[in-house]
Structure 1
Amino acid sequence: MLKKIAAKVGLSLGVAALVVGGTGGPAAAVEGAGYVGDGYANSGAGVWCAQKLVNDLARKVGQAEIAQDSQWGPQTKAQIVWLQQRLGLKADGIVGPETGNWLLYLGDQYYGGKNGYCYWNLPSDWRLAGMYVPTRLS
């Protein structure tokens, strides 16, 4: 009987340690949300999210939109480069944490933001909270 109780307590403490250890520490990209672009993910939810959010930003400034087909290609890369150039980021066409931050922060908040679907599918460390954010991209 005592062994069963000790085993349950040990299991509970082990799970608690994993939960605390898994959520602590410095901010990092959302776990499981890899970079998007040439040499990285080239299809799926991450690509769709990049397309959806960059299209939202393009629409706001009269820039042509691209297909939201979940497939990485030259048009998607060009649209990401366009955004990176407008924001003064390294214009490499790769959606890493810095570009992911801006897409999530400036894009459609239903999908972006810190609670939207795309938050879990784009790399981000959510460093923009409290920072100056330009209200216009053009």
Structure 2
Amino acid sequence: MLKKIAAKAGLALGVAALVVGATGGPAGAVQGAGYVGDGYANSGAGVWCAQHLVNDIARKVGHPEIPEDSTWGPRTKAQIAWLQDRLGLKADGIVGPDTGNWLLYSGSQYYGGKNGYCFWNLPSDWRLEAMYVPTNLD
């Protein structure tokens, strides 16, 4: 009887350790969310998120939108480069952590933000969460 209780307790502790280990890591970094852009293995979800969130930002400032077709191409690259240029980032048209941070922070909070669907599909270290950074997106 005591062995059964000890075994169940050990199993529960092992599962808890796995859960904590799986959710740990660098401050808010999304593990496995790769860069989006030329030369990267672009997932349909990552590309769609980049398109959707950059369109949301474009709409807010009166900039033309692009199709949200989950396909990386020259129009998506140009739209990402437009955003990067407007933010003072390197306008290479690639969504890395810096651009991912801005997309998640400034785009639709339903899909973006720290709990939205796109948080898991775009690279980010979520540095912008604790600060308000005025930009020419305001």
Q: Normalising to structure 2: TM-score of the pair? A: 0.88
Shift of residue 25, structure 1, vs aligned partner: 4.1
RMSD across aligned C-alpha pairs, in angstroms?
Answer: 1.8
Answering whether residue 95 of structure 2 is matched by residue 95 of structure 1, we say yes
Check the 8 A contact 2:47/2:72 in 1, yes or no.
Answer: yes
Check the 8 A contact 2:86/2:136 in 1, yes or no.
Answer: no
Match of 2:12 in 1: 12
Question: What letter corresponds to residue 81 of structure 1 in structure 2?
Answer: A
Check the 8 A contact 1:41/1:47 in 2, yes or no.
Answer: no
Q: Please list every run of 5 or more consecutive structure 2 residues that lacks an aligned counterpart in the other structure.
A: none
Shift of residue 41, structure 1, vs aligned partner: 3.2
Answering whether residue 41 of structure 2 is matched by residue 2 of structure 1, we say no
Inter-partner Cα distance in structure 2 for 1:61 and 1:135: 12
Shift of residue 110, structure 1, vs aligned partner: 1.5
Answering whether residue 119 of structure 2 is matched by residue 119 of structure 1, we say yes
- Report the secondary structure of 1:129's partner residue: helix
Shift of residue 11, structure 1, vs aligned partner: 1.3
Residues 21-63 of structure 1 show CA distances to partners (whole Å, capped at 9, x for unaligned) of 2333431521232211112233411100100010111112222
Structure 1 pair 123–56 and aligned structure 2 pair: CA distance change class (3 A) = same
Q: Please list every run of 5 or more consecutive structure 1 residues that lacks an aligned counterpart in the other structure.
A: none
Q: Percent of aligned pairs with the same residue?
A: 83
Match of 1:105 in 2: 105
Shift of residue 81, structure 1, vs aligned partner: 0.8
Greater than 6 Å deviation, 4+ residue runs = none
Shift of residue 133, structure 1, vs aligned partner: 2.0
Match of 2:58 in 1: 58
Check the 8 A contact 2:53/2:103 in 1, yes or no.
Answer: yes
Question: What letter corresponds to residue 56 of structure 1 in structure 2?
Answer: D
Residues 47-102 of structure 1 show CA distances to partners (whole Å, capped at 9, x for unaligned) of 00100010111112222111100000111011111111111112221111111110
Inter-partner Cα distance in structure 1 for 2:79 and 2:42: 15
